[in-house]
A = this chain, B = another copy of it.
Amino acid sequence: MKILIIEDEVKTLQLIKQGLEEQQWEVDIAYDGSMGFQLATRQAYALIISDIILPMLNGLELCKKLRQAGIDTPILLLTALGTTDDKITGLDAGADDYLCKPFEFKELMARVRALTRRMGSIVHTNLLKIADLEMDLDTKTVVRAGKEISLTAKEFTLLEYFIRHQGRVISKVELAEKIWDVTFDTGTNVIEVYMNFLRKKIDKDFEPKLLHTQIGMGYVLKIVS
């Protein structure tokens, strides 16, 4: 699950984004309120972190509009406006927490943990990983270097087998048995065709390459050759 940051000040944005990514969160970014609204209504986030002073639509109006639209994602407002009345306005607009700049980074992270804890249990469950390639068995999605990659059922099963046995050279006979469920030589080249499909999708536009051929032996999924 992802976190959405809405902030027009690039330095603050980068700081938060980096910190969240270190905690294994996926992060989306918006530079103004209306862009933030678009994103927040189009997909489900675990948390929205928003500045109050924003172009287009300010953080308070954003809160209200999201709540009106039925979005109940936790919202953390982050701003330089530090009076008690500002905080009250923010919280009553529908925000769940309010943190004043300048804030200590570790406090922000603790508040993020507190706000996402409830969601957290449903999060990051069935994930398989190698390098920057992630496979989510629940949502059946594959992401490499942050880009979502769409796989067919057979491609998915095949890649799953490779990730579960990463580093091991897997023979074509083994693949035929485990993925295609045939135990005799059918004289086909499906496996080669499918390895080609997979490579086009998960390796072609990325580095380092993960799928390697060991001529006469089989294929391996591993980092570096």
Are the C-beta atoms of A84 and B113 separated by less than 8 Å? no
> How far apart are the CA atoms of A88 and B214 in the complex, in Å?
45
Chain B residues with Cβ under 8 A from A209's Cβ?
none
The answer to the question of A104 belonging to the interface, with a C-beta cut-off of 8 Å to chain B, is yes
Chain B: minimal CB distance from A43 (Å) = 5
CB distance from A51 to the nearest CB of B (A): 18
User: Beta-carbon contacts of A89-118 to B below 8 Å, as 1s and 0s?
Assistant: 001101111000000101101110111011
- The answer to whether A140 has its CB under 8 Å from any CB of chain B is yes
The minimal Cβ–Cβ distance linking A1 to chain B, given in whole angstroms, is: 8
CB <8 Å contact, B139 and A167: yes
Q: Do residues A111 and B131 form an inter-chain contact, with CB atoms below 8 A?
A: no
Determine if A16 is an interface residue (Cβ-Cβ < 8 Å). Answer: no
Does the CB pair A138–B167 fall under 8 Å?
yes
Residues in chain B near residue A107, CB distance under 8 A: 84, 87-88
Whether A91 and B70, one on each chain, are in contact in the complex, defined by CB atoms closer than 8 angstroms, is: no
CA distance A94 to B114 in the complex (A): 7
Is A220 among interface residues, defined by CB-CB distance under 8 A? yes
23 contacts between A and B (CB under 8 A): A42-B223, A42-B224, A43-B224, A84-B106, A87-B107, A88-B106, A88-B107, A88-B109, A91-B110, A92-B113, A96-B114, A97-B114, A138-B168, A139-B167, A139-B220, A140-B169, A140-B218, A152-B216, A153-B214, A153-B215, A153-B216, A153-B217, A156-B217
